[in-house]
Amino acid sequence: GASQDSGEGKQLTLTQLDDYNDEFVAGAKNQLATLTISRDSYSNALENRYSYLQHPPVFSHKLSIDPPITNQKSSGRCWIFACLNMLRLPMMQRYKLEELELSQPYLFFYDKLEKSNWFLENVLATLDEELDGRVVQFLLTDPINDGGQFDMIVALLEKYGVVPKEAYPETFHTSNSREMDALITSKLREFAKQLRQAHAAGADVEALRARKRGMLGEVHRVLAVSLGRPPEKITWAFRDKNKQFHEFRDVTPQDFYRTHVQVDCTRLVSLINDPRNAYMRKYTVQYLGNVAEAAGVRYVNLPIADMKEYAAAVIQSGRPVWFGCDVGKFRSNARGLLDPQVIDYRAAFDFGFDTTKADRLQYGESAMTHAMLLTGVHIEDGKPVRWRVENSWGDGSGNKGYLTLTDAWFSEFVYQVVLDRDDLPQHVVDVLDQEAVALPPWDPMGALAQ
């Protein structure tokens, strides 16, 4: 049988604390480390000079256009910004534009409304689950998170289209979403209680959906007041680089997407690198999505080397790549550099880290937190060494809005890239025909890019 726990070592004793203090005082460099670290951030004080000297922001292959950097401000809309930044590039080339920004607030409005419906439908799907069970409590945690997955923006684009930024610009609550999110979240939890109580009292699903219609009307009112009503038709007028005037009148957002954006986003495939699970398999995440009638979120799990190979080839062909990563790890804000060596924790604390990518996923240490665009790659001896990144934190961030991530950082902290089916070998495309393995709703592959 198992040995009995004697309880020895359970407490943090004062003697133990004295030993720690003695060890600290005896450490020759600890005083210097304290004087340095206590007055600045780790990323500044422990910045590894050799790391940034080794990886200058120079790339053998980069896109020919550098459009103005966008700024998501105090919101979690990076997944929308990165996608629309990707879609604007062929438009800028086709129409000979110096600058163009598509309206993230437009998709943000409909994402909030669709996520509210998605949440209430999940409430209806879990009426017989225990209220304090893990599934229902997870669904109640953050029902209209600003973040999203790539398949979710495809669902929005296919249903609602998109408009230029000037047709539906920012408001206070698109750029500072916390207050509006909190208000809608409070109402959604109240609605969840009402639906569960009505079900317990004998209401059938038709009656509950009739109540849901009124609930969504309240959410719509909050969005329309806070963000303004999205346009049903627009006029798009501009001058190109040659000073030629162009005007398109009475265009619906859906027509703008089909006629002017001209990218079939349904052909784009989300590739993930999840070393916990089998490669060359298709995955989904339970209860993850936004548009109820859409197909949901689908991933193809690939080794990281394959993901890099396919992404580098797309960049070399002159096109950007949407990707998702854990942007908070080993980042020098001052240098705009993401590299596992850029912050030297060992120099100050005498320790490193002994976890694999799979370990970090399993123990809650890492997941995808942010989406951006890959717009350049530096190839040496046929292999990528570093990657150029267009971010959406404004041009005062990083290197005038751009970041450099090293290939080593890509291996450890990039989780997803999105590529067209035509840019993938047939054996990878064929994985989409598999039955998807459903991961639980709290799985880190369900993390939303913000």
**C-alpha span between 271 and 318 (Å, rounded):** 20
Q: Say if CB 225 and CB 217 are below 8 A apart.
A: no
SS (H, E, C) the chain: CCCCCCCCCCCCCHHHHHHHHHHHHHCCCHHHHHHHHCCCCHHHHCECHHHHHHCCCCCCEECCCCCCCCECCECCCHHHHHHHHHHHHHHHHHHCCCCCCECHHHHHHHHHHHHHHHHHHHHHHCCCCCCCCHHHHHHHHCCCCCCECHHHHHHHHHHHCCCEHHHCCCCHHHHECHHHHHHHHHHHHHHHHHHHHHHHCCCCHHHHHHHHHHHHHHHHHHHHHHHCCCCCCEEEEEECCCCCEEEEEEECHHHHHHHHHCCCHHHEEEEECCCCCCCCEEEEECCCCCCCCCCCCCEEECCHHHHHHHHHHHHHCCCCEEEEECCCCCEECCCCEECCCCECHHHHHCCCCCCCHHHHHHCCCCCCCEEEEEEEEEEECCEEEEEEEECCECCCCCECCEEEEEHHHHHHHEEEEEEEHHHCCHHHHHHHHCCCEEECCCCHHHCCEC
Q: Which of 48, 55, 78, 122 is catalytic?
A: 78
Q: Which of 85, 273, 290, 391 is catalytic?
A: 391
**C-alpha span between 354 and 360 (Å, rounded):** 10
In the structure encoding, which two tokens stand for residue 48, read together? 């590894």
Residue 83: active-site member: no
Q: Which of 55, 173, 260, 370 is catalytic?
A: 370
- Residue closest to 419 by CA, chosen among 264, 263, 266, 270: 270
Residue 220: active-site member: no
Residue 199: active-site member: no
Please give the positions annotated as active site.
78, 370, 391
